[in-house]
């Protein structure tokens, strides 16, 4: 849709009310036993299992792909009567260099490969280079592209520049879904987060995503609330459903439950499915599997027994 500056100028965030809202979540929402196991299994199907390190290798990526195919031990799934459900993670997320290897390793699984792009994580490469990087990843088989916006556009209020940039990224992605990484920890205020969310959705983002995982502050429930309410506002106004992806620092099973509760309460049950909800994480899956083992056996195992990389 065209950039609507009137909508942007009317956008506000009540910080104290938002803080009260997220502060009450842990006390008001608690699930145990079978219900908790069910929520955690749903979370597994929404994980973008990620490796974005400078020492990544093709071998590491292929091991990660093997884990994506079988994210939870078969004996645990069988004990929960879930062994025949074909549970996999939502996607694998890698640098462009490893897209082709990941596509090959996931052949026949139905698991998409997501590539971080556009000068990830800082997003300061020349614009034409960013577009070529997107096109190269799509050509190698990436079904999803996680782009990073230019934070300067937000910090200086240059909404037209942000809109134009995001629109170009959307076009370069072609058939691939595009997730717009806002790097919320760099945007200073919740109002900036809310406005950047709206602009990216207006310009065609399929998902809005909190962070690269490389900022000092990454996903938080407070930022999540601000972004989810913009998704709801956009859906109410246009009828278009935009997905949400928190990323960075989400490593404990109890933490992802908070994000799931917020998704359900703010947007509804439909937004808990992997086509509208993804979690950018590398070590979260290991803790979820530990919690599921405790649910089945009553015992906690060592974290290193559930390594995914």
Task: Please indicate whether residue 179 is annotated as part of the active site.
Answer: no
pLDDT for 135 equals 98
The per-residue pLDDT for 11 is 96
pLDDT of residue 99: 98
Catalytic residue selected from 48, 206, 245, 287 = 245
Q: Is 248 left (phi over 0), alpha (psi -120 to 50) or beta?
A: left
Question: What is the Cβ-side half-sphere exposure of residue 190, based on CA atoms within 13 angstroms?
Answer: 20
Q: What is the pLDDT of residues 110-132, one digit of tens each?
A: 999 999 999 999 999 999 999 99
Q: Of 48, 67, 130, 146, which one is the catalytic site residue? A: 146
* pLDDT value at residue 114: 98
Q: What pLDDT score was predicted for residue 308?
A: 60
Q: What was the pLDDT predicted at 300? A: 74
Place of tokens 């065209």: 2
SS3 264: helix
Overall average pLDDT of the 96-104 stretch: 98
pLDDT at residue 247 tops 70: yes
Q: Kindly compute the dihedral angle of the four CA atoms of residues 125, 130, 132, 134, in this order, to the nearest 10 degrees.
A: 140
- The 10s digit of each residue's pLDDT in 149-168 is 999 999 999 999 999 999 99
* Mean of per-residue pLDDT scores for the chain: 94
What does the pLDDT read at residue 47?
97
Q: Quote the CA–CA distance of 178 and 155 in Å, as a whole number.
A: 22
pLDDT tens for each residue of 57-98: 999 999 999 999 999 999 999 999 999 999 999 999 999 999
In angstroms, how far apart are the furthest CA atoms of the chain? 56
pLDDT for res 282: 85
Would you mind telling me the total number of residues written for the chain in this entry? 309
pLDDT, average across residues 235-242:
97
**% helix, strand, coil for the chain, step of 5:** 50, 10, 35
Token pair belonging to 93 = 């997320």
Reported confidence tier of residue 29, pLDDT bands at 50, 70, 90: low
User: Is the Cβ–Cβ distance between 91 and 112 less than 8 Å?
Assistant: yes
| Among candidate residues 269, 203, 274, the one with its CA nearest the CA of residue 240 | 203
Q: Is 209 a catalytic residue?
A: yes
- Banded pLDDT at 221 (limits 50, 70, 90): very high
From the list 67, 130, 179, 209, the catalytic residue is: 209
DSSP E strand stretches across the chain? 47-50, 91-94, 113-116, 144-148, 177-181, 207-209, 243-245, 279-281
Q: Mark whether 67 is an active-site residue.
A: no
């Amino acid at each position: 849709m065209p950039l609507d500056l009137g909508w942007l100028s009317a956008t506000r965030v009540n910080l104290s009310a938002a803080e009260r809202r997220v502060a009450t979540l842990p006390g008001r929402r608690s699930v145990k036993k079978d219900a908790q196991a069910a929520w955690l299994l749903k979370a597994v199907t929404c994980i973008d299992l990620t490796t974005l390190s400078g020492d990544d290798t093709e071998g590491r990526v292929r091991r990660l792909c093997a884990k994506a195919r079988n994210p939870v031990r078969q004996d645990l799934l069988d004990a929960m009567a879930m062994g025949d459900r074909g549970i996999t993670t939502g996607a694998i997320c890698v640098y462009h260099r490893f897209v082709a290897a990941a596509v090959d390793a996931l052949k026949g699984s139905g698991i998409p490969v997501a590539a971080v792009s556009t000068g990830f994580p800082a997003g300061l490469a020349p614009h034409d280079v960013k577009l070529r990087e997107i096109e190269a990843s799509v050509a190698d088989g990436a079904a999803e592209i996680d782009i990073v916006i230019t934070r300067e556009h937000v910090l200086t209020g240059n909404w037209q520049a942000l809109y134009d940039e995001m629109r170009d990224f959307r076009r370069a992605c072609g058939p691939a879904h595009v997730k717009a990484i806002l790097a919320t920890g760099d945007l200073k205020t919740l109002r900036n987060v809310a406005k950047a969310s709206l602009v990216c959705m207006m310009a065609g983002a399929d998902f809005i995503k909190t962070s690269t995982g490389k900022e000092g502050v990454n996903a938080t429930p407070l930022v999540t609330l601000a972004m989810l309410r913009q998704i709801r506002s956009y859906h109410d106004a246009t009828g278009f459903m935009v997905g949400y992806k928190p990323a960075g620092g989400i490593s404990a099973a109890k933490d992802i439950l908070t994000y799931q509760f917020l998704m359900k309460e703010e947007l509804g049950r439909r937004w808990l499915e992997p086509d509208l909800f993804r979690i950018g994480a590398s070590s979260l899956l290991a803790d979820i599997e530990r919690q599921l083992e405790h649910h089945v056996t009553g015992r906690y195992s060592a974290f290193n027994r559930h390594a995914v990389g």
